[in-house]
Amino acid sequence: MTTIDVDRSFAELTEPLRGEITAHCYRMLGSVHDAEDLVQETYLRAWRAFHGFEGRSSVRTWLHRIATNACLNALESRQRRPLPTGLGQPASDPSGALRTREEVPWLEPLPDDLVWGRPDAEPGEQTVSRESVRIALVAALQHLTPQQRAVVVLRDVLAWQAKEVAETLDMTVAGVNSTLQRARVQLAKLEGGLERPAPVLDDARSRRMLAAYVAAFEEYDVPRIVSLLAEDAVWEMPPFDGWYRGAEAIGTLISTNCPADAPGDQVLVPVSGNGQPCFGLYMRGEDGVHRAFQIQQLTVGEHGVEHVVAYFDLSLFARFGLPETLPADRVPRTA
């Protein structure tokens, strides 16, 4: 077989798996930037070892093993990536000053297009469930050690047998089982663990709620925003280290700190991440130009919007395929 044939065979076998390998690395690392780097490293390692692949396991299992060990090596020199709610501090005063923690490597959202954006994917194909990458679960995984994280992902997300996990991580089966048990106990203490599935809502109802949410922000109608939030909703916005609980408190936070003054100052562009609705929020400057301001990620429940993470890392706009400034033809006429 020629080098060209080998390259073609490798690509045909592994490229359809890129989305799920990206999701796997993201669950382990909590960063879309780091995940993309580790996917590249995984594919490079796999290509170099492809001549020795004997087919004793599936290509999918083989690639996940390489990715898992690449991620574990990377995690030796990386801190965990929390959200503000994961810092162990109480809810903040919504009328107080905002404080950034630039030194903290914050959890990042995962754009859906990186996982489900393959142009040749069949309409019904979904090897990665949206449930398995929801932001609450990934945030909970950050509280585990790297080894615990790997065991949980391989056993409870990918449904591997304990023996397969033991071989991948160079552990005993007993060690895998005890590690999994300890990790499950830890996850059970955290909101968003595997035992707390995200609510499933009627699509039409969700669309109406999200449309109302967009309209409320674009009209800068804070009372309307508050009415769309669940009573015990949580709002957090890294790199600011505070977090806020309760619809009224969030309304106070927005009224006190949002730079918008009037309808049209904000424009929300829909995207999606972690299988959840997201919006790129653009804020109008004094020159009338709407510039990238934050990515909002919403968890919608039966009683309204339950959780909003507003990411102020502007590099995420490019990851979501969004421009830095909003072209005039994409600004609503009301703006």
pLDDT by 10-residue block (mean), the chain, 335 residues:
67 93 97 97 94 81 96 95 95 96 96 79 61 93 96 96 96 97 91 57 84 97 98 97 98 96 96 96 96 97 94 97 89 68
pLDDT at 200: 59
Q: Percent helix, strand and coil across the chain, each rounded to 5?
A: 50, 15, 35
Tokens representing residue 218 in the block: 């674009």
Task: Write the DSSP symbol of residue 300.
Answer: E
pLDDT at 51: 82
Residue for token digits 């859906």? 112
Smallest Cα–Cα separation from 184: which of 142, 154, 164, 156?
156
Smallest Cα–Cα separation from 41: which of 21, 59, 27, 23?
21
Domain boundaries, the chain: 1-78, 203-330
pLDDT at 332: 75
pLDDT at 57: 80
pLDDT at 201: 63
Reported as half-sphere exposure (CB side, CA atoms, 13 A), residue 222 has a value of 16
Q: Name residues whose C-beta falls within 8 Å of residue 142's C-beta, 6 or more positions apart in sequence.
A: 30, 80, 81, 82, 86, 107
Domain at 1-78: CATH code: 1.10.1740.10
Model-wide pTM > 0.85: yes
Output the CA–CA distances (angstroms, integers) from residue 91 to 165, 186, 243, in the order listed: 38, 22, 5
Which CATH architecture does the domain made up of 203-330 adopt?
Answer: Roll (3.10)
